[in-house]
Amino acid sequence: MEEDQWDLEKDLSQCLNKSKYADLRFVVGRDKDIFYAHKLLVSISCPYWRKVFYFKDWQSVRRSKFIDVLVPEIESNLFCQFLEFVYLRKANITHENIFGLQELSVKYEMPELDEYCSKSVYSCLSFHNCLNFYEKTKQLGLVKWSETILKYIEKNSASSRVYSKKEYYEGFLQHIRLDLLDFPDIQEIRNYDLFSDQELFRTAIGLAKKNSFQLPTKTRADNLILTLDHNK
């Protein structure tokens, strides 16, 4: 069974973006790059294109060898990874394309690709991008991604000299618009509209305490966490 599966994957990889036997020709991006594909395979994996190919009248264009499909709004590198996932159920996920592929998974109604991206988030994270990633995932409502990024931050906060730098925490706190070194009084905190992202703030406090980053007082930090817990 495993051998048969491997042969199938090998055969499909040889068909990926090859004109032989293909009946689709995607014209992608501003540069109009050409990608060859097979209507049946794309339709099986992707409900979006299935609706296009099987619920629209393509009779007028079937006289030629290929059906030309214009996709100017998508970058070629993203579309290439989309096709790779359609054919091989894998893709080269990087920090540069993961959000674009997730957007494609929604547009093309492909929960499998969405899940694949979700599982790849951790491998795309670094000290330089984790904060921007976190902010973007919160804006997009990608809850699982946000949780993964917080775990990454917690796990790596003390594992490298880079993560113990004061600048890291200052950058961390810029994302919630609050300076740890200048807490308002605990009573005033209840009136501030700065804690929409309580989980990130709690993580910042925890990391700061763990790495002996200067806090106003340990008691004040502990009281603040209790206050946030009470306001949940």
104-113, 128-137, 214-223: which range is least confident on average?
A: 214-223
Which of 78-82, 143-147, 160-164 has maximum average pLDDT? 78-82
Q: Looking at the DSSP assignment, which residues form a beta bridge with residue 27?
A: 34, 70
130 or 182: whose pLDDT is higher?
130
**Inside any domain, residue 216:** yes
The string of pLDDT tens digits covering residues 197-212 is: 556 666 666 665 555 5
Confidence of residue 97 (pLDDT cuts 50, 70, 90): very high
Residue 221 has pLDDT above 70, yes or no: no
- Say which residue the tokens 């910042």 belong to: 204
| Residue 92 forms part of a structural domain | no
| 37 within domain boundaries | no
Q: Among 154, 145, 101, 139, which Cα is nearest to 123's?
A: 145
Question: How many independent structural domains does the chain possess?
Answer: 1
Residue 206 lies in a domain: yes
**142 in a structural domain:** no
Residue 130 domain-assigned?
no
Q: What percent of the chain has pLDDT over 90?
A: 37
Classify burial at 189, counting beta carbons within 10 Å of its beta carbon; exposed 0-12, middle 13-18, buried 19 or more: middle
- Is residue 3, in this structure, part of any structural domain at all? no
Q: For 55, phi and psi rounded to 5 degrees?
A: -120, 10
pLDDT tens digit sequence for 102-126: 999 999 999 999 999 999 999 999 8
Confidence of residue 146 (pLDDT cuts 50, 70, 90): confident
Give 8-41 pLDDT, tens digit per residue. Answer: 556 677 778 788 889 899 999 999 999 999 998 9
Task: Give the pLDDT score at 98.
Answer: 98
Determine, yes or no, domain membership for 17.
no
The tokens for 137 are 């995932």
Residue ranges making up the domain that contains 178 = 157-232
Q: Please, which contacts does 208-216 make with residues 24 or more away whose CB atoms are closer than 8 Å?
A: 208/169, 208/180, 210/157, 210/158, 211/157, 211/158, 211/163, 211/164, 211/169, 213/166, 213/169, 213/180, 214/180, 214/181, 215/180, 215/181, 216/180, 216/181, 216/182, 216/183
Q: Strand 24-28 and strand 67-71: pairing?
A: parallel
Q: State whether residue 70 is helix, strand or coil.
A: strand
Q: State pTM to two decimals.
A: 0.70
